[in-house]
């Protein structure tokens, strides 16, 4: 707060993040420009006038930048992030919708294009997330759950590296293969259970380590401990959604909450909270504007075309016994 007392302080910081060396014209990409009295820059080549926030997620915002920076600080540095309701209260933001949209804009910048895929040894499994509606009890408490594929790096001798979480339309081979190809580097050792949807991932260049639940049970091992990494991520994510956000996460926005969870999880060992704050602002100032309209209508991304009925088309993991999926039963 002492660094960013005024909007001008915030603008200075954003300018430094957006144009670390010198102003670059967003229209003609020519480097260099005049700084005008109102804080905007004028391109020396084409004459285009640009403000630091134009073309970023802060474009045309009516919220003061000082409030944005405080929101970003809470979002980036609090262990569990912040809910729209508590953001609205603590920063005295006019409406819940404004606070909600600010947080969604921040979430929308977290996926850096071209980020590195997971590597080394990676566990992959699916689970159902969501569907809890606050205020409802028993059978009626079930909204629509989404099928989420979780991938997490295992560290030797113990511990976890980075993770990824993606909503998939079903647990068919094409859906699972696409998720793995998007998020895991070829050559990686991929550990899965015996589910048929994971078959043939070795054809995609992965070293497939298939672990049978039946074999684990027969060998006296707990089948739930077959994939401890994804189990752990799933329970942390669900606890976070129920705790910080009290389960009030609708299906259409679940992916962006998962993105936030993954962003924070992957930076959990970062020693500097300020560095994470810096990182979020850097991503925000490098991201195209996100309109309110896009936030409220954005559908759940469906990467794969719906598969044919019957055969692998039916979401088969629904049929699996909950006893072998303990975190799903909760």
Which positions lie near Zn ion, rule CB under 5 A?
25, 27-28, 30, 43, 45-46, 48
Q: Give whichever of 49 and 199 is closer to Zn ion, judged by the CB atom.
A: 49
* Residue 140 DSSP label: G
* Phi, psi (rounded to 5 degrees) for 257: -65, -40
Least Å from the CB of residue 23 to Zn ion? 10
Q: Give whichever of 45 and 318 is closer to Zn ion, judged by the CB atom.
A: 45
Instruction: Tell me the H-state helices in the chain.
Output: 7-18, 65-77, 84-91, 96-108, 173-183, 213-218, 228-243, 254-266, 273-285, 292-297, 326-329
Contact 5, 70 (CB under 8 A): no
Q: Give whichever of 46 and 141 is closer to Zn ion, judged by the CB atom.
A: 46
* Residue 196 DSSP label: G
Least Å from the CB of residue 59 to Zn ion? 18
Least Å from the CB of residue 53 to Zn ion? 18
Contact 165, 150 (CB under 8 A): yes
Q: Give whichever of 40 and 48 is closer to Zn ion, judged by the CB atom.
A: 48
Q: How far apart are CA 161 and CA 153, in angstroms?
A: 5
Least Å from the CB of residue 207 to Zn ion? 50
Q: How far apart are CA 206 and CA 183, in angstroms?
A: 12
Contact 86, 71 (CB under 8 A): no
Q: Give whichever of 38 and 319 is closer to Zn ion, judged by the CB atom.
A: 38
Q: How far apart are CA 225 and CA 219, in angstroms?
A: 13
Least Å from the CB of residue 21 to Zn ion? 16
Least Å from the CB of residue 29 to Zn ion? 7
Degrees, nearest 5: CA angle 263-167-275: 5
Least Å from the CB of residue 25 to Zn ion? 3
Least Å from the CB of residue 18 to Zn ion? 15
Tokens of 310: 């019957």
Q: Give whichever of 44 and 304 is closer to Zn ion, judged by the CB atom.
A: 44
271 exposure class (CB count in 10 Å sphere: 0-12, 13-18, 19+): exposed
Degrees, nearest 5: CA angle 146-149-154: 145
Q: How far apart are CA 66 and CA 302, in angstroms?
A: 37
Q: Give whichever of 33 and 223 is closer to Zn ion, judged by the CB atom.
A: 33
Least Å from the CB of residue 24 to Zn ion? 9
55 exposure class (CB count in 10 Å sphere: 0-12, 13-18, 19+): middle
Q: Give whichever of 46 and 323 is closer to Zn ion, judged by the CB atom.
A: 46
Q: Give whichever of 25 and 87 is closer to Zn ion, judged by the CB atom.
A: 25
């Amino acid at each position: 707060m002492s660094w960013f007392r005024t909007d001008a302080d915030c603008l200075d910081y954003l300018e430094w993040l957006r144009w670390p060396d010198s102003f670059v014209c967003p229209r003609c990409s020519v480097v260099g420009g005049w700084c005008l009295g109102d804080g905007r820059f004028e391109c020396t080549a084409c004459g285009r006038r640009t403000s630091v926030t134009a073309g970023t997620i802060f474009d045309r915002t009516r919220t003061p930048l000082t409030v944005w920076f405080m929101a970003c600080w809470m979002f980036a540095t609090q262990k569990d992030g912040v809910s729209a309701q508590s953001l609205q209260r603590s920063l005295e933001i006019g409406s819940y919708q404004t606070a909600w949209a600010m947080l969604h804009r921040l979430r929308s910048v977290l996926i850096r294009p071209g980020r590195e895929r997971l590597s080394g040894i990676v566990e992959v499994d699916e689970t159902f997330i969501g569907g809890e509606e606050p205020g409802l009890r028993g059978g009626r408490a079930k909204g629509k759950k989404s099928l989420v594929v979780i991938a997490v790096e295992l560290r030797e001798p113990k511990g976890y590296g980075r993770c990824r979480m993606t909503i998939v339309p079903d647990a068919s081979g094409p859906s699972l293969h696409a998720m793995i190809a998007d998020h895991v580097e070829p050559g990686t050792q991929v550990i899965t259970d015996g589910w048929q949807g994971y078959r043939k991932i070795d054809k995609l260049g992965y070293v497939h380590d298939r672990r049978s639940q039946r074999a684990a049970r027969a060998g006296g091992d707990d089948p739930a401990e077959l994939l401890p990494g994804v189990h752990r991520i799933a329970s942390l994510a669900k606890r976070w959604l129920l705790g910080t956000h009290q389960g009030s996460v609708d299906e259409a926005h679940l992916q962006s909450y998962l993105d936030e969870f993954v962003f924070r999880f992957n930076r959990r060992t970062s020693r500097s909270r300020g560095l994470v704050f810096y990182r979020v602002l850097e991503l925000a100032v490098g991201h195209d504007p996100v309109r309110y309209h896009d936030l409220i209508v954005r559908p759940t991304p469906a990467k794969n075309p719906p598969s044919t009925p019957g055969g692998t088309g039916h979401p088969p993991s629904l049929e699996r016994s909950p006893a072998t999926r303990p975190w799903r039963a909760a």
